[in-house]
Amino acid sequence: EIHLVESGGGLVQAGGSLELSCVLSGDTFDEVVIGWFRQAPGKEREAVANINVDDGGTSYADSLKGRFTISADNAKSTVYLQMNKLKPEDTARYYCAAVVVGDYNDRFAGDEYDYWGQGTQVTVSS
């Protein structure tokens, strides 16, 4: 069983930065892909970025490349999402999710992920 806990959200002005953290508990950290997703009120869930913790490979939503960076600290079983130059349209609840490496077809599809955290709210003021 895998449990995920997000933290680091908050209120920030446009142009500011936040770093989200996702701590995974369980003994399979090295065998998973961790994805960050976000969902704003009234909107569909959107994939943000993901990382294969085993080989370090990362992928990003095209619209967020250059502003967001995903990374992992295997020793801490933690995945980070560094968000820079935040915009009001980045306001959403951000979730991390996990899926075992190889047990998916599309790393950007939320339905492929088996474990989800409770999310952390990010609000960007104009």
Q: What is the band of 28 on the pLDDT scale with cuts at 50, 70, 90?
A: confident
Among 25-29, 94-98, 103-107, the least confident range: 25-29
Average pLDDT, whole number, for the chain?
94
pLDDT of residue 36: 98
pLDDT of residue 17: 98
pLDDT of residue 14: 98
| 100-125 pLDDT tens trace | 988 888 888 999 999 999 999 999 99
Report the distance separating Cα 89 and Cα 79, nearest Å: 23
Residue 12 in contact with residue 86, Cβ under 8 Å?
yes
| 45-62 pLDDT tens trace | 999 999 999 899 999 999
Residue 29 has pLDDT above 80, yes or no: no
Give the chain's end-to-end CA distance (angstroms, integer): 40
